[in-house]
Amino acid sequence: MKFAQPLIPATLLRRYKRFLADARLEDGTEITAHCANPGSMLGLKDEGMRIWLEPNDDPKKKLKYGWRLVDHENGHFTGVDTSVPNRALRQSLLAREISELADYETIRPEVKYGQNSRIDFLLTHPGKPDFYVEVKCVTLLREAGKGEFPDSVTARGTKHLNELTEMIAQGHRAMLFYLVQRTDVEFVTLAEDIDPTYAAAFDRAQSAGVEVLAYDCEITPDAIVLGKRVPFRR
């Protein structure tokens, strides 16, 4: 998924009100950018971090920049836009690039299910059980190579796990797809210390038959594309 506009580097000043970030451009201009990430962004919002912004000239948008990447200045990047994983995964699903999910004919995003929820992708095929795929974005890294989810307590994530478990009980397939939106992760696991309730729901879901898959991304200031499968460890 290529960025619509070339990204420009900046220095992060602060992130606040969840969806706003102040930054300083290389010419010294201070601007406010939209931060498309409602999470805690643990480890990704420190003052002075080098970041990449996507400018826009859309008259309907109040903010003329969107925060897209954290540049760790060691050759690695983290994508902070939480809408990217679903868009990148959809492209790969349509192109049949994910072997574990390639044998389903129809791919439908944002289908209603459960208790007032929408599954990220519902895969269907004649003669096969429906396949419910929920996508979670992994950006937390507290130890070298170890990507963790979640980065804050997520009641919504626990609800999704319970709903996936219910889909298994109804005779369908269900999967939790962890998409790692950073380039320095070697494996994925749960941040049980951050949200033990989520971890317990995960264990129940996996025991019930919910499948787990993790893929990383290739990230540059030009594009974010789905990469390779990475191990999930529990």
* Cα atoms in the 13 Å half-sphere on the side-chain side of 36: 16
Whether the pLDDT of residue 233 is over 90: the answer is yes
How far is residue 69's CA from residue 182's CA, in Å, rounded to a whole number? 9
- For the entire predicted model, the pTM comes to 0.93
**Do 84-229 and 8-79 fall under one CATH topology?**
no
Residue with tokens 């429906």: 130
Q: What are the extents of the domains in the chain?
A: 8-79, 84-229
Q: Which of 152, 153, 164 is nearest to 212 (CA)?
A: 164
How far is residue 79's CA from residue 88's CA, in Å, rounded to a whole number? 12
Long-range contacts of 91-100 (CB under 8 A, 24+ apart): 91/1, 91/225, 91/226, 92/226, 93/121, 93/123, 97/226, 98/215, 98/226, 100/213, 100/229
How far is residue 37's CA from residue 131's CA, in Å, rounded to a whole number? 27
Task: Give the pLDDT confidence of 62-110 residue by residue, as tens digits.
Answer: 999 999 999 999 999 999 999 888 888 999 999 999 999 999 999 999 9
Task: Give the pLDDT confidence of 16-72 residue by residue, as tens digits.
Answer: 998 999 999 999 999 999 999 988 999 999 999 999 999 998 888 899 999 999 999
b (16+ CB within 10 A) / e for 209-220: ebbebbbbbebe
How far is residue 172's CA from residue 38's CA, in Å, rounded to a whole number? 31
For domain 8-79, the CATH architecture is: Beta Barrel (2.40)
* DSSP H or E run through 168: helix 155-169
Average pLDDT over residues 3-16: 96
Q: Write the CATH number of the domain with boundaries 84-229.
A: 3.40.1350.60
Q: How are beta strands 145-149 and 185-190 bridged, if at all? A: parallel
Task: Give the pLDDT confidence of 113-162 residue by residue, as tens digits.
Answer: 988 899 999 999 999 999 999 999 999 999 999 999 999 999 999 999 99
Helix extents (H) in 18-83: none
